Amino acid sequence: MKKPLISELTLEEKVGQMLLGYQWDIHRKTRTLGAVPESLRTKEERDEYLLKEKFGTLWAQTGMGSRGLDQDMADKETTDTSAEYGEWIMAESDVYKIPALTSLDCESGAADTFKDLSRGVGAMTLGAANDEQLCYDLGVAIAKELRCAGATWRWAPVVDVGSKRTNQMLRTYRASEPERQIELANAHIAGTQSQGVAATAKHFPGGDKFEFRDSHFCPTQLNTNYDEWWEEQGRIFQGVIDGGVYSIMTSHHAFPAVDDSKINGLYRPATISKKITTDLLKEKMGFKGVVITDSIAMGALFTLLPYEELIVEIVNAGNDVILGCMADTNEIICKAVRDGRISEERINDGCQRVLDMKEKLGMFEEGYRHVKGKAEELVPETRKINLEVARRGLTLVRDRNNNLPFNKEKIKNVTIIASSHSDSIVELLEPLKKEFEDRGASVKIQRRLVNNEDMDRVAAESDLIVYAVYIRQHQPMGLPSLYGKEMETYFYGFTNGKEKSVGISFGYPYVHFTMLENADMFINAYSPSPEMMKACVEAIYGEIEFKGDSPVELNPDIRNF
């Protein structure tokens, strides 16, 4: 089809291009959890809802595709294969005359959304591997997998620099080297976009290195002055803009150095700041692509104003796509345009940017199809690249007594102590268990240590003890740490068998500093991907060398932590 001209579209159609609704709202009549029959829309009702809101983008959400939302979202089960979802999303978007983008976070691969796609090694591992070609190759591989699920817009990579105390640090590349971060991020972006998938640099204008609060739940703030911000984060965003990233996601952080206005006594979040989003990002920095909000349902934003007022503020700030808008948002915006609260020029600009991005992706070309490739053909190649990145990025934090590597011939019994607030931790660690078993060891995964006698038993029974810690964003919610019974393990841990005990973090890279300083041997693995677990065992046994160049400061100043 031909790319439509702005002059050919109605106001409602133009506004629709700026809207990205929650997929559960497409399926459900209410936002209550549970797929009870009376709460679900029929196919006809879904089509009516889509035509009413005219979403320019649909959100690929976990367990909500081809089966018509037959899972309670509270259980977070992944129910769709990529092929099933691809077929469903094509049928769903057929109601539109302008093809809809299909988007998802997918910072570390799409396995959390589609059960047949791969779990990636993550941006922190890419930073530790410090190789532009690997960044590019993994961007290509992940994008190919997304295309086989019908997805065309990836909300990654994260390029902002956050606090050491927050999960934000899990997702940056090389925070201590902004120029290198630009190079690695641009390589990953180029790889992603080479396959017809739009990349997204997020979250503009960035985070504060001392801010430990989470904007999902409460207001947060970037407290630096403009010059410091430019040196630490602004030039990174400028670098990816100059590198050609198609979209940028704004954050809900306030940035008083640029906009010190307040709403209800609180500094204005970047999402609803024209000075930050339009004057700084679009005009001063020259970004010509699509500006998308972070989810507007987050606590730092959603509770600030009544919904209708909030939507008007978001559009007027300069955002081109509203992530997570509710029902009747199209009507709210059109009404605001007609009564003069939003200019039609602002709508034209936002719509044009979305249409231009769709054109770059080839969505108006003859024969364009959302779905390309098959998971079973693409995933093996992605896993090969993941393994290479894992082997290059795996980082030895310390080996105080030079005990590594271990002689696998002498390791007959391995105990893995699993520490996490994620209920999936034992299942996640199965690949680690299998790698040890493949080398002749008998392996047991144990949840927690409960007392000194338990520690003594584990030490007596084991030739190698692995303390496997998994902390990721929102697991648990709040600051990245272990609490309660999970942390109690380390009251007893390392009191026996210390010389054969290895700590490994499969997520947050400061575990060795904040919780496991008693571990004489510690490895940062950054990700719970099977390929990273394979690399861990290879390195523990000396089959490969530790090559990772830590992307974070391993011994931070506690006064600035």
Beta-ladder partners of 201: 248
pLDDT at 119: 86
pLDDT at position 66 is: 41
> Which candidate, 351, 338, 340, 342, places its Cα nearest to that of 315?
342
- Separation of alpha carbons 500 and 417, rounded Å: 13
Q: Is the CB of residue 364 less than 8 Å from the CB of residue 2?
A: yes
Percent of the chain residues topping a pLDDT of 70: 90
Residue 418 token pair: 């699993």
- Tokens linked to 310: 């909030």
Helices (H) and strands (E) in the chain, counts: 21, 16
Q: pTM (2 decimals)? A: 0.92
Q: What are the φ and ψ backbone dihedral angles of 437, each rounded to 5 degrees?
A: -65, -40
Measured in whole angstroms, the distance separating CA 284 from the mean position of its chain's CA atoms is 27
Tell me how crowded residue 68 is: count the other CB atoms within 10 A of its CB. Answer: 14
What local confidence, expressed as pLDDT, does residue 341 receive? 98
**Average pLDDT per block of 10 residues along the chain, 561 residues long:** 93 97 77 58 85 89 47 43 78 80 85 85 91 96 92 92 57 73 95 96 85 73 91 94 98 94 93 97 98 87 90 98 93 98 98 97 80 89 97 97 97 97 91 98 97 97 97 73 90 96 94 93 95 98 96 77 59
Contact criterion met (CB below 8 Å) for 109 and 151: no
- Which domains, from first to last, does the chain contain? 11-376 (3.20.20.300), 395-545 (3.40.50.1700)
Residue 405: is the preceding peptide bond cis (ω within 30°)?
Answer: yes
Phi, psi (rounded to 5 degrees) for 68: 70, 35
φ, ψ for residue 87 (rounded to 5)?
-65, -40
pLDDT of residue 386: 96
